[in-house]
Amino acid sequence: MPLKRILKTVLFAGMAVILFAVIPAAFFFLSYYNSLKSEVVARFSQKRWNIPSRIYSDSAVLYPGQSLKDTGFFERLARLNYHRIESGRVSERGEYSYDPKHGRLTIFLRNFAYPYRNFGGEIVQMDLMGRNQTIESMSDPESERQAPH
């Protein structure tokens, strides 16, 4: 009998600790984390930094069969200050157009430098399919050269 009573007491004390200590501590930790996260996001999204794009941009490897929606591609374009314009009217570096009806994305890339080589901005056209905006094909609309699969 005493063992059963001790076990009940320990179990009751353990449940009380969980109920009155662990759960409130987890709640306060999550509240603090969320407030800290929103403060960091607010501070970094308000200010535009005056840093050249080659420092804060990065390369993205794109290939047929890849889903643009899953990679957050359009969000990346917005972060890199690419501007969306009317379909088929891309004429300057840093512009893109997307025609969801026909599944066609056209981007006029900016100039960029790799080690030992500079690339001039060029126009890239992608044919997309499906809700996930999967790349079906990629081409250079001026030379009509297809990217390899």
The CATH number that applies at residue 123 is 3.30.2060.10
d(CA 128, CA 135): 5
Asked whether the whole model's pTM tops 0.85, one would answer no
**Whether residue 141 sits in one domain with residue 71:** yes
**Whether residue 106 sits in one domain with residue 66:** yes
Q: Which residues share a beta bridge with 145?
A: 140
Length of the chain: 149
Number of domains in the chain: 2
What's the confidence (pLDDT) of residue 118?
82
120: containing domain = 53-146
Q: Tokens 């399919």 sit at which residue?
A: 129
The amino acid that residue 116 corresponds to is Y
**Whether residue 92 sits in one domain with residue 40:** no
**Whether residue 98 sits in one domain with residue 126:** yes
**Whether residue 109 sits in one domain with residue 75:** yes
Query: Would you say 94 and 83 are in contact if contact means Cβ atoms under 8 Å apart?
Result: yes
**Whether residue 85 sits in one domain with residue 14:** no
Sign of CA dihedral 12, 18, 19, 21: positive
Per-residue pLDDT of the chain (149 residues; tens, 9 = 90+): 688 888 889 998 888 888 888 888 899 999 999 999 988 888 777 655 554 444 445 677 888 888 888 888 888 888 888 889 887 778 888 899 988 888 899 998 888 777 778 877 788 889 998 888 888 888 887 766 555 44
**Whether residue 74 sits in one domain with residue 32:** no
**Whether residue 132 sits in one domain with residue 67:** yes
**Whether residue 69 sits in one domain with residue 18:** no
Q: Which residues share a beta bridge with 117?
A: 114
The amino acid that residue 95 corresponds to is E
d(CA 3, CA 122): 80
